[in-house]
Amino acid sequence: MLPTGTRGPKVVAFGGGHGLYAALSALRHVTGNLTAVVTVADDGGSSGKLRSELGILPPGDLRMALSALCDDGEWGQLWRDVLQHRFKTDGPLNHHATGNLLIASLWNLLDDPNEGLDVVGRLLGVQGRVLPLSNSPMEIQADVVENGMTKVVRGQSRVAVAPGRVEHVRLFPASAVVNPAVLEAIEEADWCVFGPGSWYTSVIPHLMMPELKEKLASCNAQLLLALNLTNDVETSDMTHGDHLRSFVSYSGGITPRVVVADPTAIDDLDELDEAVGEYGVKLLLRQLHQYGQTAVHDPLRFAAALRDAFEGTITDVAKEGPKN
């Protein structure tokens, strides 16, 4: 993490789950001026149980984002481990994460999602801020085509593993509004970062909020899209170029300034080149994965790529990718 007092560009990172965790683990080395915006549609596991029983936002992805930004000192690392600890029992506490219960307790006491997360952030020594996309829990619905038949799949946990091709996704309730603090962060941002992450359940949901799209279109922030290292069930039939086209479609025509990708993860570089050419987007190819683990981001490699993108040091040599 950057030394205390170091600021850097104002960055807002959008996503959820492990993808956002990877982005934040890298961004913390680039800037101390960071806001994470997390989807609130998770309905599985510990988060789903607490959401259903207590009527609160699903805390799990918010917990992971806070853990990614915790202080590097002994205090921060201890509380990160406490936050991520899961109980293993034969009773109702089985698989609940301590951090989820802590966040739920603070929300009950403070009755303000933002304030509760800020309190956890101070406890962990977080450099930055973690915000929910909306202060109301939401549901993802998807039209999925399998064997020529279209079915409606409801719920983030089900959409994420549904076999077939995702044709379209929707957010409910339609009346949900964007957290005002998120709009304020975008207004002040230098960069907005989308991805990596589960495409239709973590990345795209942000773009389905009209207020957020309007703010992205009117603000001065540049957009960066970080492509995934591997495809998941949601995107098993999508190319990297398809991801960019999908992003522009759901954003209503808003294009990122830079697309960051790992060349070892791209099956068809010409196809991706064609897609970025369609929109006049800069492509930055860097080796982003950990040595020996092609599906896992290396925080320092990812951070170096993001720094180059933010500083505008994208050259033709960079586009060619790393030399092995």
62-77 pLDDT, tens digit each: 999 999 999 888 888 8
> Averaged over 161-169, what is the pLDDT?
87
**Opening angle at CA 216, ends 161 and 310, nearest 5:** 90
Q: Do 61 and 112 share a domain, yes or no?
A: yes
Q: What are phi and psi of 140, to 5 degrees?
A: -95, 135
Residue 319 has pLDDT above 80, yes or no: no
> Averaged over 146-164, what is the pLDDT?
89
Q: Do 126 and 198 share a domain, yes or no?
A: no
- Chain centre to alpha carbon of residue 239: 19
Predicted local distance difference test score (pLDDT) of residue 324? 34
Decide if 22 is inside a domain: yes
Q: Do 34 and 101 share a domain, yes or no?
A: no
Distance CA 198, CA 90 (A): 31
Long-range contacts of 152-161 (CB under 8 A, 24+ apart): 155/43, 155/44, 156/39, 156/41, 156/42, 156/43, 156/44, 156/201, 157/42, 157/43, 157/44, 157/45, 157/48, 159/200, 159/201, 159/234, 160/198, 160/201, 160/232, 160/233, 160/234, 161/233
Q: Do 14 and 82 share a domain, yes or no?
A: no
Predicted local distance difference test score (pLDDT) of residue 317? 34
CATH number at residue 267: 3.40.50
Q: Do 2 and 63 share a domain, yes or no?
A: no
The tokens for 193 are 């970062």
Distance CA 306, CA 294 (A): 19
Average pLDDT, the chain: 90
Decide if 224 is inside a domain: yes
Residue 174 has pLDDT above 90, yes or no: no
Predicted local distance difference test score (pLDDT) of residue 316? 38
Q: Residues 15-60: pLDDT tens digits?
A: 999 999 999 999 999 999 999 999 999 888 888 889 989 999 999 9
Model confidence at 90, pLDDT cuts 50, 70, 90, reads confident
Decide if 194 is inside a domain: yes
- The bridge status of strand 149-154 relative to strand 139-146 is antiparallel
Predicted local distance difference test score (pLDDT) of residue 85? 87
Decide if 77 is inside a domain: yes
Distance CA 195, CA 235 (A): 14
Last residue of a domain, one of 113, 132, 151: 132
Residue 313 has pLDDT above 90, yes or no: no
Q: List C-alpha distances in Å: 61 to 80, 129, 175, 179, 270.
A: 14, 14, 22, 16, 35
Are 186 and 212 in contact by the 8 Å Cβ rule? The answer is yes
Residue 272 has pLDDT above 90, yes or no: yes
Predicted local distance difference test score (pLDDT) of residue 6? 56
Model confidence at 95, pLDDT cuts 50, 70, 90, reads confident
Are 24 and 68 in contact by the 8 Å Cβ rule? The answer is yes
> Averaged over 305-313, what is the pLDDT?
90
Q: Residues 219-252: pLDDT tens digits?
A: 999 999 999 999 877 888 899 999 999 999 999 9
Q: What is the pTM of this model?
A: 0.91
Strand positions, DSSP E, the chain: 11-15, 34-38, 129-132, 139-146, 149-154, 165-172, 191-194, 222-226, 258-261, 282-285, 289-290, 293-297
Decide if 125 is inside a domain: yes
Q: Do 90 and 219 share a domain, yes or no?
A: no
Closest to 196 (Cα-Cα) out of 28, 17, 36? 17
Helices (H) and strands (E) counted in the chain, each on its own, are 13, 12
> Averaged over 284-312, what is the pLDDT?
94
Predicted local distance difference test score (pLDDT) of residue 312? 82
Within 10 angstroms of residue 56's Cβ, the number of other Cβ atoms is 19
Q: Do 121 and 210 share a domain, yes or no?
A: no
Model confidence at 1, pLDDT cuts 50, 70, 90, reads low
- Chain centre to alpha carbon of residue 137: 17
Distance CA 51, CA 244 (A): 32
Residue 318 has pLDDT above 50, yes or no: no
Closest to 324 (Cα-Cα) out of 284, 286, 270? 286
Q: Is 282 helix (H, G, I), strand (E, B) or coil?
A: strand
Please give the share of the chain, as a percent, with pLDDT higher than 90: 69
Can you give the length of the chain in residues?
A: 324
Residue 92 has pLDDT above 80, yes or no: no
- For the chain, the domain total comes to 2
- The bridge status of strand 289-290 relative to strand 191-194 is unpaired
Last residue of a domain, one of 111, 132, 153: 132
Q: Do 33 and 46 share a domain, yes or no?
A: no
Q: What domain range includes position 125? A: 41-132
Q: Do 80 and 1 share a domain, yes or no?
A: no
Q: Do 273 and 236 share a domain, yes or no?
A: yes
